[in-house]
Structure 1
Amino acid sequence: MFSNERFPLAEAYAHSLATAGVERGLIGPREVPRLWERHLLNCAVVTDAVDPDMSVADVGSGAGLPGLVMAIRRPDLRVTLIEPLLRRATYLDEVAGELGLENVTVLRSRAEDAVSVGGFDVVTSRAVAALDKLARWCLPLVSVRGEMLAMKGERAPEEIAAATKTLRRWSATTPEVVVVGQGVVSPPTTLVRVVRTK
C-alpha cells in the first residue's frame, strides 16, 4: 500500500490525527480505533485511479482526507488542500510542514472562491456534499479534459441521477462509478469520476 519510504509518514499522520486531530475537533474520538481501515487506507486507494504527475485539488479537505493521504502515498502528485475553516487550514499547514510534504499546498478558501487557482488535473472530495452541489463547486476548478473524482458510497447511482442537469451544464461526460481498493479495504472505496470536456 504505502512504500517502505512513505509508510513512516503515514504512521506519523495517523498519530497526529489520533492526538492533535481529536484534541482540535477535526475527528471524533470514536474514529481513532479505525483510523487506518476507515480513513487512511480508504483514502490511499483513491490514488489507484490517478495518473502519474497530476495536479490534484482536495475540496473541503478538513483533516486532510483524502488529499493529505494521497500526497503521502504519491510524492509525484502536486496536491492543493482547499479548506475554508481557519482551524482546519492551520492544522493542515502544520502537519504538512511536520511531515516535510513538499508536494502539498494549503489554500484557505471556499471552493467557489478558488476558481482563479483552478485548472487542476483532478479534483477530489470526501463527505463534503451531494454530487449535484459538489459538481457546481468542483468542476470550475477542473482543467479541460481533467476530472472530478468524488468519494461516494453505495448511494452513488442516486446522486448521479440527481446531478444530471448540473453535469450537462458543465459539459461533463457521463459519470462513471469506479471501485478501488478491493482486497485492501472493506468495503472497497467507491468513486464517481466525471471528466470535463470543455
Structure 2
Amino acid sequence: MSLAIDRQAEQLDAGIRALGVSCTTEQQQQLLAYLALLVKWNKAYNLTAVRDPDEMVSRHLLDSLSVAPHVEAGGDAWLDVGSGGGMPGVPLAILFPERRFTLLDANGKKTRFLTQVKLELKLSNLEVVQSRVEAFHPPVPFAGIVSRAFSSLADFANWTRHLGDEATHWLAMKGVQPDDELQALPPDFRLEHCHLLTVPGCQGQRHLLILRRTS
C-alpha cells in the first residue's frame, strides 16, 4: 500500500475504535475500497465537495458510522434518502450485511456511481433506486429512514411520510441542533431523541435527531 493508503487505513481503524463500533478487518478493507471509488469517481461526477481523501475518512466514513448504534437497534430494512455519494448508506451496508439498505437519489450520475459501488464491493444487501422521493412507492414501510444533510426536518418528514409508519425510526443527521427546524415539524411527527455525536477528526457539532410518527 502507498503511504497515503496506509495513513487512511490507520485513521479509519483509530476512528472506528474511538466510536466503539464493531468492524472486522474485511469490512475496514471494504470501507477503504469504497473510499477509493469515491475519490476516483468524484473527479468526473462531483459526488462530494470534499476533495482530500484523508478528510473523507472522517467527514464521510466515520461520520456515517457514528449512527451505527441507532441503526443496529432498529429493524432490517433501511432507506437512505438523497444518498448522493452513498453516505451514510454504503458504510452502513458494509457494517451490517444482515440488514437491507435502499439508496435513493434522483441524480442519474450519482445512482450510476452507487450501482458501481454495489457491483465492485459485492454488496448484495444494497439496492440503488433512481427516483424522486415523492414518486418512490415501495411495497412495505421501511423500519428506518435516514438522511444526511438532505433537507429541512419538515421537508424530510413530509417527503418521506408515505415510506414509513408508526414503527419507523426517522434518523436525521445534522450539524448544530436545528431548534428552528424542530419548531416547524409537521403535527404528526415528534422528536424522540436528540443525540450529540462525536466523530473522530470532525470539527464542529454533529447531531442525530430521531423522529417518530404519532398517527
Matches within 5 A, 1:26-175: 26-28=47-49, 30-50=51-71, 51=73, 53-163=75-185, 166=186, 168=187, 171-175=188-192
Bigger drift between 10-19 and 50-59 goes to 50-59
Structure 2: gaps spanning 5 or more residues: 1-15, 17-22
Corresponding residue of 2:211: 194
Q: 2:36 aligns with which of 4, 15, 24?
A: 15
Distance 1:83 1:183, change over 3 A: closer
The farther-off stretch of 104-113 and 1-10 is: 1-10
CA RMSD of aligned residues (A): 2.0
Contact 1:125 1:150 in 2 (8 A): yes
1:84-104 CA-to-partner distances (Å, cap 9, x unmatched) read 111111110111110000110
Q: Is the 8 A contact 1:81 1:107 kept in 2?
A: yes
Larger radius of gyration: 2
Aligned length: 192
Aligned letter for 2:96?
Answer: R
Conserved? CA contact 1:52–1:76, under 8 Å: no
CA distance in 1, matches of 2:136, 2:199: 36
Aligned CA distance change for structure 1 residues 75 and 100 (closer, same or farther; 3 Å): same
Cα distance 1:189–1:72, how it changes in 2: closer, same or farther (>3 A)? farther
Unaligned regions of 5+ residues in structure 1, if any? none
> Take 2:74 and 2:190, find their aligned partners in 1: how far apart are those partners?
22
Amino acid at match of 1:64: G
Corresponding residue for 1:4?
25
User: TM-score, normalized by length of structure 1?
Assistant: 0.88
In 1, Cα distance between the equivalents of 2:104 and 2:68?
18
